[in-house]
Amino acid sequence: MSKQENLILPKDFPQLKNDTFLRAARGEEIEHVPVWCMRQAGRYLPEFRESRAGKDFFETCQSPEACCELTLQPLRRFPFDAAIIFSDILVVPQAMGMDVQMVAGKGPTFPEPLKEPEDLQRLQVKVDTAKELGYVFRAITLTRHKIEGKVPLIGFSGAPWTLMSYMIEGGGSNTHSKAKRWLYQHPEASHMLLKMLTDVIVEYLLGQVAAGAQALQVFESHAGILGPAEFKEFSLPYLRDIARRVKDKLKEAGQDVPMIVFAKDAHYALEELSQSNYEVVGLDWTIDPLSARERTGGKVSLQGNMDPCALYAPKERISDIVKKMLEGFGTRGYIANLGHGVYPDMTPENIGAFVEAVHQHSKQMIKQI
């Protein structure tokens, strides 16, 4: 660790000025609906492209200064109510000993994916997260200082099934058939791998809170490739276990950090997800807001779910879509977001229009209550 990094300690953080996001996560009263966007730090911003130019993606992830700068960039442009630390879900398989590269035009690539259950022996079972992922913790601590209490900082991890599917597929996939083959041919080895990942993820999330994360989001981005039965067996128990174990440990330390679960395309499991120890359930755009409310019965706060492609619409149309979304979800226990990440070809101006529409319409709706 450099001398300078040594001075950045996870304490004496600036006081939080806008806690709207945290209050909404807990279902408390708010003056406006909070909003942030998945992938708000991304290639749609010219300053992001400039900062990232010519640099390796995972080297960038390993630089606390670079992660801090990329996390803060969108906040300089838009009045978001939360920031998410710049990093990637695939740092966890890396910490377990797998090589992962970001290949331009192709996305994340594992040169040596897991092929058969014997390959599990290649993985590090006991991961020293402070050593292997300390760079993420340092990025969080630095960013929490530099954000100056403007908004809360969200930490995150990939969920076990999503990480397992990357580790077996070796990258993106349409069918995920290599990873799904394991579920049907090697259920025991699959559970072994999912359990290994769960143990690392629990430690990793706790380390992020200790470093300064004020909320946590767990990304089960590949939930939709599973059906209801497989989701119940290979995803849900691990999602629940993660939240339970993280919360139990935090409680011991007298801490309370809201947790969000985002299981993309898992509309079939909405009821179960709302009873999984998470305060917030993130939704993709395939779910109707009103029916999501009905099916979750007011047990949790909801986050989402505008189709990211609606950002291609003219600004007035974005405003109308946002208004309908707010009317569907209601303003209480709700965090506005997209149903998935911002795409690189989207215009920053339209993200601004989205944020402004959420703030304006929700303020009016709250006044009328």
Ligand X SMILES: Cc1c2[nH]c(c1CCC(=O)O)Cc1[nH]c(c(CCC(=O)O)c1C)Cc1[nH]c(c(CCC(=O)O)c1C)Cc1[nH]c(c(C)c1CCC(=O)O)C2
Active site residues: 39, 43, 52, 88, 166
Shortest reach from residue 252's CB to ligand X, in Å: 27
By beta-carbon proximity to ligand X, the closer residue of 43 and 247 is: 43
Cα–Cα dist 313/296, whole Å:
30
Residue with smallest beta-carbon separation from ligand X:
221
Token pair, residue 145, equals 């200082």
By beta-carbon proximity to ligand X, the closer residue of 84 and 202 is: 84
Binding residues for ligand X, rule CB under 6 A, total: 21
Q: Which residues of 143-157 are buried (b: 16+ CB within 10 A; e: fewer)?
A: bbbbbeebbbbbbbb
Shortest reach from residue 310's CB to ligand X, in Å: 17
88 is a site residue for ligand X (CB under 6 A): yes
Task: Yes or no: say if 274 and 300 are a contact pair by the CB < 8 Å rule.
Answer: yes
Task: Report the site for ligand X in 176-205 (rule: CB under 6 A).
Answer: none
Task: Yes or no: say if 60 and 70 are a contact pair by the CB < 8 Å rule.
Answer: yes
Where residue 170 falls (left for φ over 0; alpha for ψ -120 to 50; beta otherwise) is left
- Give the three-class secondary structure for 226: coil
The dihedral through the CA atoms of 119, 122, 128, 131 has a sign that is: negative
Task: Report the site for ligand X in 47-86 (rule: CB under 6 A).
Answer: 52, 57, 84, 86
By beta-carbon proximity to ligand X, the closer residue of 39 and 361 is: 39
Task: Report the site for ligand X in 106-135 (rule: CB under 6 A).
Answer: 107-108
Shortest reach from residue 339's CB to ligand X, in Å: 11
39 is a site residue for ligand X (CB under 6 A): yes
By beta-carbon proximity to ligand X, the closer residue of 30 and 83 is: 83
228 is a site residue for ligand X (CB under 6 A): no
Interacting residue with ligand X among 341, 348, 363, 365 (CB under 6 A): 341
10 Å CB burial of residue 109 (0-12, 13-18, 19+) is: middle
Task: Yes or no: say if 92 and 164 are a contact pair by the CB < 8 Å rule.
Answer: no
By beta-carbon proximity to ligand X, the closer residue of 52 and 245 is: 52
Shortest reach from residue 262's CB to ligand X, in Å: 8
Amino acid at the residue 260: I
44 is a site residue for ligand X (CB under 6 A): no
156 is a site residue for ligand X (CB under 6 A): yes
Residues in CB range of 72: below 8 A, 6 or more apart: 83, 143, 146, 147
Residues in CB range of 233: below 8 A, 6 or more apart: 183, 187
By beta-carbon proximity to ligand X, the closer residue of 87 and 190 is: 87
Which chain residues interact with ligand X by CB under 6 A? 38-43, 52, 57, 84, 86-90, 102, 107-108, 156, 219, 221, 341
